[in-house]
Amino acid sequence: MATKEHTEAAEMGAAGDSAPFEVRYNPAEIEARWQERWAAQPEMYAAEPVSSTKPKYYVLEMLPYPSGQLHMGHVRNYSIGDALARYMWMQGHNVLHPMGWDAFGLPAENAALKNNTPPRQWTLGNIAAMKRQMNRIGLSYDWRNEVTTCLPDYYRWNQWFFLRMYERGLAYRKKSKVNWCPQCATVLANEQVVNGCCWRHEEQPVEQRDLEQWFLRITNYAEELLEDLSRLEGWPEKVRTMQRNWIGRSEGAQIEFELEDASGTTEDEEKVRKSGTVLLPARDGVKGTGKKAAVFTTRVDTIFGATSLQMAPEHPLVKEMAAADAGLSDAVAALLEQQRKAREAGDVGAIEKHGVFTGHYAINPFNGERLPVWVGNYILLEYGTGAIMSVPAHDDRDYDFAKKYGLEIRVVILPRSQAESLGEREALLPYTAEDSLLINSGEFNSLGCHEAQHKMTAYAGEHGFGKATVTYRLKDWGISRQRYWGTPIPMLYCAKCGIVPVPDSELPVLLPENVEITQQGGSPLARMPEFVNAKCPKCGENALRETDTMDTFVDSSWYFYRYTDAHNDRAPFATETVAYWFPIDQYIGGVEHAILHLIYSRFWTKVMRDLGLVRNDEPVERLFTQGMVIRNGAKMSKSKGNVVSPDEMIARFGADATRMYSLFAAPPDRDLDWQEDGVAGVSRFLSRVYRFAMKHAERAKSGARPSSAELSPDSQALLRKLHQTIRKITEDFAGRWHFNTCIAAIMELVNALTAADAAIGAGKVPDAVLGEILRSLTLLLAPFAPYLAFELWEQIGETENLLRAPWPKFDEQLAKEEQIEIPVQINGKLRAVVRVGADADEETVRAAALADEKIAALIADKEVVRMIVVPRKLINIVVK
């Protein structure tokens, strides 16, 4: 948010504008001139080779999708990264600051359909347009290392990595339920399903389909991905928490329940069997069928309270039971249909729970009791084991279900305070806390929950019906997309040999260019015989190519490694070069990438490490997530009609004012409410800086200033302000990144300068002091308003490239607050004078007086009765 002070500071900048000056700030002219000069020397932004003796600094902003137009969110993101890159250059680092294009993806196909432009042409045209915009903004990218993910020199390495993963069993194929958007005619990731609808088509409900898909085994790395989060201290805690939750580790036990052989049912049992609502007690002679259902539970301590087994409609055992029971078969089909609808609505968690008793019982391996087996529409086959033990007394969901169907509820844990009471107090239920004791649990009675969990898991292991298990919410990464504009998956299908990988020597599998995009009937590649038909590399017979392409998150999982060695045609990159640059020192992007992109790229790094390609375990040392740019209280979007075009802002106010405003209007991690008045204010501020500097530029071209003791109070005050400003900005770059207050501090400095303009004009400030101030001011502006800074740098007579000019150092002494002299009396007689800061508190003033040598000697053998301190005026020490 733009704070009130900021708006005022910007407005104060306008206050001195009335006096007309011969020079006028013309950003269009200045910026065009410098843009041309920078374009003529691309080596200015080039990273030095790894042999450089400077410390390295890799600053990276997330690469954009080439939609054709930068939006203000981009401008903000890149302005933050650019300020940092420029600052690090000036601090003497070897800076890598690259940019590229996340160039595969569906919009290119949509555009092709709409405008009849081939996706490649559309994409490359957009890239050119956005690159022009970036250059117009004056962003300091090293374009020699540009990466464009839709070009074969990049995506061939996606294919190469895929083959390496396939060799190691990290890429595999399986039939899987997928989210299908009929409009996109493609599979959507779960995260692309928003409220049951397609993320691109907000009104389009997502359907479920079964397809053979390629998966990457990210779950192999689940534990390490979780563990290493604790090492990422330079990441926002919210991002780490989101990843932790996404990985979703839970510890528990897997327990097997065997189905009962009902042939031995007694007459007494026969009466209750049919209801399926009560447990059948243990007795001798009960036999099992040998068919077992595993359940995963984090609360094995409650297993004596299990009163039913609940299974997914698609569980293999349910299918078997239904095959022999037409009534059950219909009921299960109805449950499955409810589940399908809930999936399509995107919220299975909120499904209205229904279930049906199967007529079968399963044996609780802990006590031999028999539990009715039910099918529940809320149980998903693909989560856990597809079956659960239902413990109504100690689980919210199970409790609701039991109440609804009249299932038995048995209390097996109680709060410690109530452990003596066996009364099953309805009001307490369901009781889910774990600071409790077990009851009704046989030999495990009176154990605490945690102890019971350990002992009971061990017991299950010893008796061969269970084991300790860790499960994750994280699923393997389905990368198959039935789309054209993506990396072809380099696999072949041979009638004789089965699935055959494309040999490395035949990479890249090129994406054909002239393709008809219809977005109907699956992938366009499948309709191109020249693509599909190939020879099997094993047997030489005809084979068919895989027509799925890769999820575009594959492209962004490792692109930042390619920047270090973008033209390598023998490997994705040189290991030594990556070893020099990695990990990325600072990564900057939107928090919306907290989960997918940032987990996938961590996974990819770990796989590359295990392949021996990189030595780092993690790709990113420090992560910064900037806030959104909003306007009129909402995120800028076409549908809300509140979009501000960067081009328009730049045309009106210049690139410097636009980018500086995007840093000034809010702390970078907060949302920024775009106000055109604010941009205008920053533009007026830059105009004041320009006119002030131009007016005094000639006088600034002089040598070193005299020591501060010889300076007038005016000069001292200005230098103090200058060094305080340098200190503030230097400290902010190191940590807080409150660029908004940095810019406000520069504004204050300029206010002080313009206020002193008369004194400066009257010659009360020596040229050398003026020179130091103007040079430093220009250096301070360089990360935020580079065009103006380069212009002023030259105007004040500097010839060194500003980007390599050393960042100004602050002088602690000068930055100190103004000093005042205070007379010190002893019993009313003046004895000494002490110097303290003008803002020093009473404590400091007393201490200064007592520490004075003369005073200390005079009161050495006396008793101090009291001290009277008149602020800023006088100290009187009363002694006897």
* Contact with Zn ion (CB under 5 A) among 15, 23, 333, 539: 539
**Please, which of residues 518-537 interact with Zn ion by CB under 5 A?**
536
Nearer to Zn ion, 419 or 497 (CB): 497
Cis peptide before 430 (omega within 30 of 0): yes
Residue whose C-alpha is closest to residue 100's, from 141, 70, 137 = 141
Instruction: Tell me the C-alpha distance between 208 and 221, whole Å.
Output: 28
794 contact partners, CB below 8 Å, separation of at least 6: none
Q: Is 544 in the site for Zn ion (CB under 5 A)?
A: no
406 vs 503, beta carbon nearer Zn ion: 503
Q: How many residues of this chain interact with Zn ion, rule: CB under 5 A?
A: 12
424 exposure class (CB count in 10 Å sphere: 0-12, 13-18, 19+): middle
In order of 337, 347, 352, 430, 795, the CA distances from 400 in angstroms are 21, 18, 11, 9, 77
Beta strand pairing call for 186-188 and 193-194: unpaired
The two structure tokens encoding residue 466: 């269970």
When the beta carbons of 187 and 536 are compared against Zn ion, the nearer one is 536
Instruction: Please identify which residue in 454, 538, 695, 846 interacts with Zn ion, judged by CB under 5 A.
Output: 538
Centre a 10 Å sphere on the Cβ of residue 466 and count the other Cβ atoms it contains. 26
- Please, which residue, 16 or 346, has the CB nearer to Zn ion? 346
| Closest CB 208 distance from Zn ion, rounded Å | 15
Position 209 contacts Zn ion (CB under 5 A): no
Stretch of 198-206, 309-317, 409-417, 671-679 lying at the interface with Zn ion (CB under 5 A) = 198-206
Closest CA to 68 of 19, 24, 108, 20: 108
Least distance CB 592 / Zn ion (angstroms)? 18
Rounded to whole angstroms, the Cα distance separating 33 from 31 reads: 5
> To which residue do tokens 């806030």 refer?
627
597 binds Zn ion (CB under 5 A): no
- Dist CA 234 CA 52 (whole Å): 26
The H or E element containing residue 603 is helix 596-610
- Least distance (Å) from Zn ion to the CB of residue 499? 10
Separation of alpha carbons 612 and 623, rounded Å: 25
Site mask, Zn ion, residues 12-31, x = CB under 5 A? --------------------
Taken in order 796, 797, 803, 808, is the CA torsion positive or negative? negative
Which tokens go with 495?
């009638």
**What tokens does 607 get?**
């796989």
Per CB under 5 A, the segment of 181-189, 380-388, 512-520, 654-662 that binds Zn ion is: 181-189
- The residue (of 396 and 541) whose beta carbon lies closer to Zn ion is 541
Using CB under 5 A, which of the segments 80-88, 183-191, 216-224, 810-818 binds Zn ion?
A: 183-191
**Contact pick of 183, 266, 446, 632 for Zn ion (by CB under 5 A):** 183
Q: 633: left (phi > 0), else alpha (psi -120 to 50), else beta? A: left
φ/ψ region of 346 (left if φ > 0, alpha if ψ in -120 to 50, else beta) reads left
Looking at the Cβ atoms of 22 and 203, the one nearer to Zn ion is 203
Q: From the CB of 285, what's the least distance to Zn ion, in Å?
A: 57
User: What is the smallest separation between the CB atom of 538 and Zn ion, expressed in angstroms?
Assistant: 4
Question: By CB under 5 A, which span of 174-182, 385-393, 694-702, 848-856 interacts with Zn ion?
Answer: 174-182
Closest separation between CB of residue 648 and Zn ion, Å? 31
Residue 201 touches Zn ion, criterion: CB under 5 A = yes
Hey, which residues between 674 and 703 contact Zn ion (CB under 5 A)? Answer: none
Q: In terms of CB distance, is 143 or 199 closer to Zn ion?
A: 199
**Please, what is the minimum distance in Å from the beta carbon of residue 693 to Zn ion?**
54
Interaction of residue 200 with Zn ion, rule CB under 5 A: yes
What is the distance between the alpha carbons of residues 609 and 614, in angstroms, rounded to a whole number?
A: 5
Q: How far is CA 312 from the centre of its chain?
A: 35
Backbone angles phi, psi at 357, to 5 degrees: -80, 135
Which residue from 197, 250, 242 is spatially nearest to 223, judged by alpha carbons?
A: 250
By C-beta, is 461 or 503 nearer to Zn ion?
Answer: 503
First to last CA, the chain: 60
Q: Which of 113, 428, 497, 628 binds Zn ion (CB under 5 A)?
A: 497
Closest CA relative to residue 583, chosen from 622, 635, 539: 622
**CB of residue 349 vs Zn ion: minimum separation in angstroms?**
23
Pick from 630, 721, 730: nearest CA to 738: 730
Name which of 497 and 651 has its Cβ closer to Zn ion: 497
Given candidates 33, 425, 473, 496, which one binds Zn ion under the rule CB under 5 A? Answer: 496
Are 95 and 36 contacting, i.e. CB atoms less than 8 angstroms apart? no
Of 201 and 291, nearer to Zn ion (C-beta) is 201
Pairing verdict, β 586-590 and 549-550: unpaired
Indicate the SS3 state at residue 458: helix
Q: Which is nearer to Zn ion, 192 or 302 (CB)?
A: 192
> Is 198 one of the binding residues for Zn ion (CB under 5 A)?
yes
Binding span for Zn ion by CB under 5 A among 106-114, 193-201, 352-360, 734-742:
193-201
CB of 541 to Zn ion, least distance (A): 5
Instruction: Give the length of the chain.
Output: 880
Give the shortest CB-646-to-Zn ion separation in angstroms: 28
CA separation, residue 795 to residues 425, 632, 656, 693 (Å): 85, 40, 18, 8
Structure tokens at 57: 């600094």
Q: Is 598 in the site for Zn ion (CB under 5 A)?
A: no
Closest contact distance (angstroms) between CB of 514 and Zn ion is 25
Stretch that binds Zn ion, among 58-66, 195-203, 249-257, 747-755 (CB under 5 A): 195-203
Q: Between residues 544 and 847, which has the closer beta carbon with respect to Zn ion?
A: 544
Q: State the Cα torsion 821-822-826-829 to the nearest 10°.
A: 80
Is 205 an interacting residue with respect to Zn ion (CB under 5 A)? no
Residue 177 or 538 having the CB closest to Zn ion: 538
The tokens of 526 are what? 């499948």
Confirm or reject binding of residue 189 to Zn ion (CB under 5 A): no
Q: With contacts defined by CB under 5 A, name the span among 294-302, 497-505, 665-673, 814-822 that binds Zn ion.
A: 497-505
Residue 181 binding Zn ion, by CB under 5 A: yes
Of 193 and 584, which CB lies nearer to Zn ion in the complex structure?
193
Q: 524 or 583, CB closer to Zn ion?
A: 524
Distance CA 712, CA 725 (A): 20
Which window, 139-147, 488-496, 605-613, 811-819, contacts Zn ion (CB under 5 A)? 488-496
Residues between 331 and 350 that touch Zn ion (CB under 5 A): none
CB of 204 to Zn ion, least distance (A): 5
The angle, 0 to 180 degrees and rounded to 10, between the axes of the packed helices 676-700 and 4-15 is 50
CA distance 577 to 50: 7
* Closest CB 188 distance from Zn ion, rounded Å: 7
Q: Which is nearer to Zn ion, 234 or 537 (CB)?
A: 537
The owner of tokens 């292991």 is: 461
CB of 536 to Zn ion, least distance (A): 3
Side chain identity, residue 560: F
Q: Which is nearer to Zn ion, 455 or 538 (CB)?
A: 538
Rounded to a whole number of angstroms, the minimum distance from the CB of residue 193 to Zn ion is 10
- Sort strands 370-376 and 308-311 into parallel, antiparallel or unpaired: parallel
Both tokens of residue 285? 């002679």
Tell me whether residue 171 or residue 197 sits nearer to Zn ion (CB atom): 197
* The one among 2, 90, 184, 331 contacting Zn ion by CB under 5 A: 184
Binding to Zn ion in span 232-291, by CB under 5 A: none
Q: For residue 139, give the 3-state DSSP assignment.
A: coil
Binding residues for Zn ion, rule: CB under 5 A, are: 181, 183-184, 198, 200-201, 494, 496-497, 536, 538-539
